[in-house]
Amino acid sequence: MATLIDMPKLSDTMTVGTLVRWLKNEGDAVANGDMIAEIETDKATMEVECFDEGILIKHYCSEGDEVAVADPIAAIGEAGEEAPAATSSAPAAAAPEPVAAVEAPAAAPAPVAAPAAPAPVAAPAANTGARIKASPLAKKIAAEKGLDLATIQGSGPGGRILKEDVLNAKPVAATPAAATSAPAAAPAATLEELVIPVSNMRKSIGKALVASKTQAPHFYLQIEVNGAPLAKLRAELNGKLAGLPPEQGGVKFSVNDLTLKAAAEAVRRVPAINRSWEGDSIKQHANVHLAFGVAIDDGLVTPVIRAAETKGLREIGAEAKVLIKKARSKKLTPNEMSGSTLTVTNLGMFGISDFYGIINPNNAAILSIGATIKKPVVNEHDEIVVGQVMKIGLSGDHRTIDGAVGAQYLQALKEILETPAMMLV
């Protein structure tokens, strides 16, 4: 008798999933432990495991389809067996989840998040004049490389062209028929009107941000930090360690690694910042579960470094690199994105000098790290000199903490960043 494989519930907030790609086709033999499909949840893209042996006799949905949790996606049986009829249920609304985003530092800041990638669409046709569908990043890279998207086969849902497809493509000359029947490629700067379906992740991000801004009364603080000592320490560490092989302790630290370590260390001095709103109570956490923002094509995810206050700079840097890689390949597990107690978001690599983040529910605060900018400053001798200034913003939940707690935490963080050797002992 055939066995149905249902859409699994891969996170606490998941009510529907999008079948991104089939890994096993109808007629394929499957065994216990085989991965049969990739599913996009409201948090990440994950693989579905088969726990039966036999033949995959039926796909109940196509790549790109959205399926409610517990609805069947496939049937496993014997060769020649008829697949049972499948029933489906209406998808329920997804609940908000912790997601960090950023907003401009104004009286009523407005959220700004990474642009969403297009949802599954039909495969492009090179010579029919049909509009080609590709992610914004894929279009940008194709324009820079001088590639015609019509000559690239997409590997995304329904044939959508992704960044990797463009990077792996080689220029292909158009055939005479294509040159005469298809319109010329539009210039890279040409704008076009798009209707972009909202992905599960984008929906979850939107609901979480609305919930955070409407339920948590945000207040905003900012402090200026002398970034020269941190830059000097980083240069010294990388100068000694970056050229060594890993087995000899070789490592290269980023500014993000150092600020994550400093943020966790500052909580030791002001533990009240490490709280969460629990409705009838306020909980102060025994460990710093430090989340940090990672931008991906379809939004922003916040992987978590557990008990960050107990880990050294090497360990934090290594763990952050692993989590960033998994985030960009959509391989983070729900556990790796939940349970944060404090969040750090950094836009310094984009040249943004100051901004404020939207608080990750149910954190008490989120830190916003800006770029280190050279500007005139007055030194201890009242002389105007060239300084390296880093602005750090803090958005706080006024239900959980007051401005004094936020100010004390920023002062502690400033002292650590301006004397960065302190976080190494």
Q: How far is CA 415 from CA 222, 331, 423, in A?
A: 14, 36, 10
CB distance 122 to 158 below 8 Å: yes
CB distance 182 to 151 below 8 Å: no
Q: Is 1 helix (H, G, I), strand (E, B) or coil?
A: coil
Report residue 423 as tokens. Answer: 């976080």
Rounded to the nearest 5 percent, the helix, strand and coil shares of the chain are 30, 25, 45
Q: What is the DSSP letter of 326?
A: H
Residue 416: Cβ-neighbour burial (10 angstroms; 0-12, 13-18, 19+): buried
d(Cα 389, Cα 38) in Å, to the nearest integer? Answer: 45
CB distance 323 to 374 below 8 Å: no
d(Cα 49, Cα 59) in Å, to the nearest integer? Answer: 15
CA angle 341-347-348, nearest 5°?
Answer: 120
d(Cα 126, Cα 173) in Å, to the nearest integer? Answer: 12
Which residues are the active-site residues?
A: 398
Size of the chain in residues: 425
Closest CA to 129 of 180, 201, 78, 205: 180
Burial pattern 142-163, b for ≥16 Cβ within 10 A else e, equals bbeeebbbbbbebebbbbbbbb
Sign of CA dihedral 345, 167, 65, 69: negative
